[in-house]
Amino acid sequence: MTDKTKINAGSGVHTVDEPGWRNWDKFPEKENVERVDIEGPWPVEDSSVDTVLFNHSLEHVGQQPNTFLGIIKELYRVCCDGATIYINAPHHMSDEFWGDPTHCRPITADMWPLFSKKANQHFRDNGGANSCLAFQLDVDLELTNNQCVIDERFQYLKDDPSWQRLAATQRNVIREIRLEIKVIKPEKPNA
């Protein structure tokens, strides 16, 4: 078995300088960054990637819905079964998100069930009005971890369970979200 590729998508100057990693950016500023527009197509083979990192980059791409959905399809195409996608993004209720005019799409944990076939089936079975994008795009991405990073101004709340109620209604309580997503691909029958 050959080693799979790891992609730091939209790396900017925040490169991962470890063996097996490829740093991509549309406007590379460092020598070890390849010029790749993550809006696609991606210059890797099908099922050849086991790790993708979007470190404050996914919120900058896919302003048009079809472009964003194309990124999801391309991401699924290149990832192998069991691949992990890590996404770090400013929280949608943070001034860090709204203060940057190049942020074109909030990234939330709530969007990922739309790309999960298990969740899509649940929506259908229960008469939900949710978009069944996993079925429409033929992708299967399962959110496995959702971590909120509390803004330093609210660190005193971190051990108080009420911070979650406050974060649901107040801006700037959560600075960043960190998501982990698993790629699910069906086994291909033997030829």
At 151-177, the pLDDT tens digits run: 888 888 878 877 788 888 888 889 999
Nearest to 149 by CA among 120, 111, 172, 176: 176
CA 51 to chain centre: 11
Q: What is the CATH number of domain 5-183?
A: 3.40.50.150
User: Which pLDDT value is given to residue 169?
Assistant: 85
Of the candidates 66, 57, 71, the residue with the CA atom closest to the CA atom of residue 15: 57
Q: Phi/psi at 106 (nearest 5 deg)? A: -70, 140
Q: What is the pLDDT of residues 80-94, one digit of tens each?
A: 999 999 999 999 999
Average pLDDT of the segment spanning 9-36: 94
190 pLDDT band (50/70/90 cuts)? low
Distance (Å) of CA 77 to CA 42, 45, 57, 190: 9, 8, 19, 20
Which residue ranges make up each domain of the chain? 5-183
Tell me the per-residue pLDDT of 118-164, one tens digit each, with 9 for 90 and over.
999 999 999 988 899 999 999 999 999 999 998 888 888 878 877 78
CB neighbour class for 111 (10 Å; exposed up to 12, middle 13-18, buried from 19): middle
Of 86, 87, 4, 1, nearest to 45 (Cα)? 4
